[in-house]
Chains A and B, each alone.
Chain A
Amino acid sequence: MCSSFLRRVAVASAILIAGSVQARELRVCADPNNLPFSNEAGEGFENKLVSLIAEELGAKVSYTWWAQRRGFLRNTLKAEICDLVPGLPARLEGVRTTAPYYRSSYVFVTRSDGPAIGSLDDPILRQVKIGVHLIGDDGSNTPPSHALSRRGIVENVRGFMIYGDYSDPNPPARILEALAKREIDVAIVWGPLGGYFAEHESVSLKVAPVHPTFDGPQLPMVFDISMAVRKEDETLRQEVEAALARRRAEVNAILAAYHVPRLDSGLKGAGSSP
């Protein structure tokens, strides 16, 4: 299967070189219901970035929609029903990732009239009502939820399942609705989610990166995000990486339009981040 796939990529590349832009298909797997990342209507920033890459590759995008839950990679990329996943942590095991195209951080989101919180060690975190996302698999949760319990901050913390109710739009966004509705005072969420919904909630919200950026040696608040292909698809990986680099300015503009909090100052070159 792999070899026939590679052959097809090779053929596709040859056609591209020959100038035909019709034949190539860029098969992408993404979540149909998870803004700001992606949705079936193509409204997420990952959708926009995929379109950019397709333009660069002279390819037509075809999506396979799959909720990004347990088994997502196994059932999509690894099952070869698509060839590209537009957002995964850099150097994720089991896949091959491009150089990162953004670096973001977990963020504190509070109402504009609420406290300004920048640090996990801020004493106010022992008083206010905090919302965090829960993963639930293997007893693992988001880094901020572990960081809070490590500090003994437990009683005033409310967990929101990252999975939510999938029949609702963008299930992970419930935590920010709860913030807007004053059910919690601060939400600690992954940056792109916080940045985007801070602009879209009915009340004014403010966003600040979580410090310290590493809570102990094993709990990073900061992640580099890349696009991913199957391990053996080095050719496609290089093409996507090159496309992201060539369209760097537009990539940055798209991320800015979605208010993605950046900890890189707009990556200077592919692979430049540590």
Chain B
Amino acid sequence: MGSARLALTLAFSLFVQPVLPILAQSSQPQPAAPSFAATPEDGQWSMPQKNFANTRYSDLSEISAENVKNLQVAFTFSTGVNKGQESAPLVVGGTMYMLTPYPNILYALDLTKPGAPMKWQYNPKPAAAAQGVACCDVVNRGPTFANGKVYFTTLDAHVVAVNGETGEEVWKTKLGDINRGETMMMAPLVVRSKVFVGISGGEYGVRGWIQALDAETGQSLWKAYNTGPDQDVKIGPAFKPFYDSDKGKDLGVTTWPADAWQQGGGTVWGWLSYDPELNLLYHGTGNPGPWNPNQRPGDNKWTAGIFARDADTGEARWFYQTSPHDLHDWDTVNEMILLDMEWEGEPRKVMVHPGRTGFVYVIDRTNGEVLSAKPFHALTAVTGVDMKTGRLQVNSEKEPVNNRVIRNICPTAPGAKDWNPSAFSHKTGLLYIPHMNMCMDWESVEPNYIAGTPYVGAEVRMYPGPGGHMGEFTAWDIKEGKELWTINERFPLWSGALATAGDVVFYGTLDGWFKAVHARSGEVLWQFKVDSGIIGQPTTYRGPDGRQYVAVLSGVGGWAGSIVSNDLDPRDGTAAKGFVNAVRELKNVTTKGGTLYVFKLP
């Protein structure tokens, strides 16, 4: 099967449904970025989320819906690492920073010179053994820049600060031990003098935590666990959760069987948000582990939920559990976009969270009240969210348990949407969600073997959801709680989104198309085929020449693309927890890669 022909088929197979004119929208004001995220555009992109509100929106508009069709490659750069590239290229001043998957090499490129030559590279030399511990490819979700330094995590659980000018290491702090299954891949969030990071490894029985480090020294300032006694979780008198199910003493102990909280998961590996006016840090917690659900009766606090914490002390203010007693591996890691909006006639400070559970949550970020939870994915495993209790309503017939074959579970283990972040346009007021459209069958019959011990593993097979496609790029009306338009994609979407004031929204596909679509109509205005699948986070910036550029890393991998980056056997559909079954064709349309692409107008 020729890849050129396939590419052509793909180009024709995507279609836009239904194209609604934006004028038809209600006259009510759309949600808006809070003032702290709506500062005048400086043309830089200094953190993967763009701003503390996680909107991933740039006010640059040189590249517009009218001229984006002329976009062309300005320069490229090989990362030298052919693993999944989930990172975001950053630009500060005249320098671009980009981070590779393991071995986590940080490159600085000089944008003031033709072709953006390398200024320096910094190699933290992480332990090679960490590769065998990482759950799903050896990705990293990007560096962040603050205080003249570039901060990032390494797969072997270190946090590094590098001088942004010279590339010299300022500090390096070890926060976990790969011998115990602890790894890191998240992008840190830096708020003034603090670096916030969390630990990965829930499937190894790691007890999840988040820490604040001193941005100048790397010293730990506070550390809060997400399971265990209140004291460890930093739950005190200031903790005022909205729902009764989160009220009580030491729920991080009592909602578990004896001692199970000690290895209960609740790791932190997703996106962090920060509200400077409330001084609240928002983070999700991973799914409970390593027991399967019927071995850990109870709500398993404080896993699979959202914490609001005092950024200075780490003290919890509220918590909302998106998946109590999680059955499906639904970590709460996805982005929490901080917006201001009118709700039932009242102005509310909200966070918008497109969750793995299949719902876009609108939550009052001052107190954790769920204002709405509307589905954006085909659902059989869950039926809704009880607006009185906030509790996810689960269909017990789709519970994956041993000794049973369960078919047509939607969404799947990676959820309706995994880590890859949405973008919110300050201009259209819409949320652009790259997500999946997949279901799965579950059967626990496959013999398996680990560390000398045989067991029966789950045989999971994922496949396309209704419509036969696996990816969707959706423009979401937050207020109405419904999609405005959706672009169907053959493969699941694993790249982030970028919104711009030029009314152009960007994203990439697993088979290697980088696309620009009209922010209002969803019309595909331009697309470019890069050398490998895209799972990275596109960014945009104003170069030293005053021109607008758009940057993205290509290089397929991650959970969805590990069939290519890890050379998995397409005949074994159950590999990568069943993801291979869905994406077995991926090996026919893309190969490994690791290239930075930067585009501009002629």
List residues of A whose CB falls within 8 A of some B CB: 31, 34, 37, 66-72, 74-75, 78, 87-89, 91-94, 133-143, 145-146, 148-150, 154-159, 161-163, 165-168, 171-172, 189-190, 192-193, 216-220, 223, 225
* A-facing residues in B559-602 (Cβ within 8 Å): 566-569, 572, 577
Known: A75-B132, A135-B290, A218-B402. A70 touches B295 (CB 8 A): no
> Does the CB pair A89–B292 fall under 8 Å?
no
Known: A67-B132, A165-B180, A217-B403. A92 touches B458 (CB 8 A): no
Known: A74-B567, A167-B179. A161 touches B456 (CB 8 A): no
CA distance A143 to B135 in the complex (A): 22
CA distance A144 to B178 in the complex (A): 27
> Does the CB pair B450–A69 fall under 8 Å?
yes
Tell me whether B471 is interfacial, beta carbon within 8 Å: no
Q: List 20 A-B contacts (CB under 8 A).
A: A37-B452, A67-B132, A69-B450, A75-B131, A87-B452, A89-B448, A133-B453, A135-B450, A137-B577, A138-B413, A140-B448, A142-B455, A155-B257, A157-B257, A163-B450, A166-B178, A167-B179, A168-B179, A190-B454, A220-B456
Contacts of B27 in A (CB 8 A): none
> Does the CB pair A31–B569 fall under 8 Å?
no
CA distance A138 to B449 in the complex (A): 13
Contacts of B572 in A (CB 8 A): 93-94
> Does the CB pair A150–B294 fall under 8 Å?
yes
> Does the CB pair A135–B181 fall under 8 Å?
no
Known: A159-B263, A162-B451. A218 touches B205 (CB 8 A): no
CB closest chain-A residue, reference B180: A165
Tell me whether B354 is interfacial, beta carbon within 8 Å: no
Contacts of A143 in B (CB 8 A): 455-456
List 10 tightest A-B contacts by C-beta distance, closest first.
A136-B290, A139-B292, A166-B179, A167-B179, A223-B454, A138-B458, A149-B295, A161-B205, A37-B452, A190-B453
> Does the CB pair A134–B449 fall under 8 Å?
no
CA distance A68 to B297 in the complex (A): 30
CA distance A91 to B449 in the complex (A): 12
Tell me whether B258 is interfacial, beta carbon within 8 Å: yes
> Does the CB pair B205–A159 fall under 8 Å?
yes
Contacts of A66 in B (CB 8 A): 132
Known: A31-B451, A218-B444. A141 touches B403 (CB 8 A): no
Measured CB to CB, the closest approach of chain B to A58, in angstroms, equals 28
CB closest chain-A residue, reference B405: A218
CA distance A172 to B205 in the complex (A): 14
Measured CB to CB, the closest approach of chain A to B326, in angstroms, equals 10
Interface size on B, residues (CB 8 A): 54
* A-facing residues in B410-459 (Cβ within 8 Å): 413, 444-458
Contacts of A139 in B (CB 8 A): 291-293, 329, 400, 458
CB closest chain-B residue, reference A87: B452
> Does the CB pair B289–A136 fall under 8 Å?
yes
Tell me whether B129 is interfacial, beta carbon within 8 Å: yes
CA distance A136 to B265 in the complex (A): 10
Measured CB to CB, the closest approach of chain B to A158, in angstroms, equals 6
Tell me whether B259 is interfacial, beta carbon within 8 Å: yes
Contacts of A150 in B (CB 8 A): 294, 402-403
> Does the CB pair A192–B452 fall under 8 Å?
yes
Contacts of B132 in A (CB 8 A): 66-67, 69-72, 75
CA distance A182 to B577 in the complex (A): 37
Measured CB to CB, the closest approach of chain A to B567, in angstroms, equals 7
CB closest chain-A residue, reference B258: A155
Measured CB to CB, the closest approach of chain B to A16, in angstroms, equals 30
Tell me whether B42 is interfacial, beta carbon within 8 Å: no
Contacts of B293 in A (CB 8 A): 139
Q: B455 touches which one: A74, A135, A149, A225 (CB < 8 A)?
A: A135
Contacts of B294 in A (CB 8 A): 149-150, 154
CB closest chain-B residue, reference A129: B258
Contacts of A68 in B (CB 8 A): 449-452
CB closest chain-A residue, reference B454: A223
Known: A94-B569, A161-B181. A218 touches B453 (CB 8 A): no
CA distance A140 to B263 in the complex (A): 15
List residues of B whose CB falls within 8 A of some A CB: 129, 131-133, 135, 177-181, 203-205, 257-260, 263, 289-297, 329, 400, 402-403, 413, 444-458, 460, 566-569, 572, 577
Q: B447 touches which one: A89, A142, A159, A168 (CB < 8 A)?
A: A89
Contacts of B448 in A (CB 8 A): 89, 92, 135, 140
Contacts of B177 in A (CB 8 A): 165, 167
CA distance A133 to B449 in the complex (A): 13
> Does the CB pair A88–B458 fall under 8 Å?
no
> Does the CB pair B452–A163 fall under 8 Å?
no
Measured CB to CB, the closest approach of chain A to B186, in angstroms, equals 20
Q: B292 touches which one: A34, A87, A133, A140 (CB < 8 A)?
A: A140
> Does the CB pair A218–B403 fall under 8 Å?
yes
Measured CB to CB, the closest approach of chain B to A81, in angstroms, equals 13
> Does the CB pair B180–A158 fall under 8 Å?
no
Contacts of A220 in B (CB 8 A): 456
> Does the CB pair B204–A161 fall under 8 Å?
yes
Known: A137-B457, A172-B453, A218-B456. A69 touches B403 (CB 8 A): no
Q: A134 touches which one: B135, B205, B413, B566 (CB < 8 A)?
A: B205
CA distance A34 to B450 in the complex (A): 11
Contacts of B181 in A (CB 8 A): 161, 163
Contacts of A71 in B (CB 8 A): 131-132, 566
Contacts of B263 in A (CB 8 A): 134, 159, 161
CA distance A189 to B455 in the complex (A): 11
Other A-B contacts than A31-B452, A134-B290, 20 sampled, CB-CB below 8 A, are A68-B451, A70-B450, A71-B131, A71-B132, A74-B568, A78-B569, A135-B450, A138-B458, A138-B577, A140-B448, A140-B455, A143-B455, A145-B295, A149-B291, A157-B257, A163-B205, A165-B177, A167-B179, A192-B452, A219-B403
> Does the CB pair A136–B203 fall under 8 Å?
yes
> Does the CB pair B566–A74 fall under 8 Å?
yes
CA distance A225 to B450 in the complex (A): 13
Q: B445 touches which one: A135, A159, A168, A218 (CB < 8 A)?
A: A218
Contacts of B289 in A (CB 8 A): 136
> Does the CB pair B258–A158 fall under 8 Å?
yes
Q: A163 touches which one: B204, B257, B456 (CB < 8 A)?
A: B204
> Does the CB pair B297–A154 fall under 8 Å?
yes
Contacts of A140 in B (CB 8 A): 292, 444, 448, 455-458
> Does the CB pair B455–A156 fall under 8 Å?
no
Known: A75-B132, A155-B257, A165-B180. A141 touches B451 (CB 8 A): no
Contacts of B450 in A (CB 8 A): 68-70, 72, 135, 137, 162-163
Q: Which of B257, B295, B448 has the most CB of A within 10 A?
A: B295
Contacts of A141 in B (CB 8 A): 290-292, 295, 455
Contacts of B205 in A (CB 8 A): 134, 136, 159, 161, 163
CA distance A67 to B129 in the complex (A): 9
Contacts of B453 in A (CB 8 A): 133, 135, 142, 162, 172, 189-190, 193
Measured CB to CB, the closest approach of chain B to A196, in angstroms, equals 10
CA distance A240 to B449 in the complex (A): 20
CA distance A132 to B335 in the complex (A): 36
Known: A136-B289, A140-B455, A219-B402. A70 touches B257 (CB 8 A): no
> Does the CB pair A159–B451 fall under 8 Å?
no
Contacts of B290 in A (CB 8 A): 134-136, 141, 159, 161
Q: Which of A71, A75, A156 has the most CB of B within 10 A?
A: A71
> Does the CB pair B451–A172 fall under 8 Å?
yes
Contacts of A34 in B (CB 8 A): 451-452
Measured CB to CB, the closest approach of chain A to B572, in angstroms, equals 6
CB closest chain-B residue, reference A190: B453
CB closest chain-B residue, reference A71: B132
Known: A69-B132, A89-B447. A219 touches B452 (CB 8 A): no
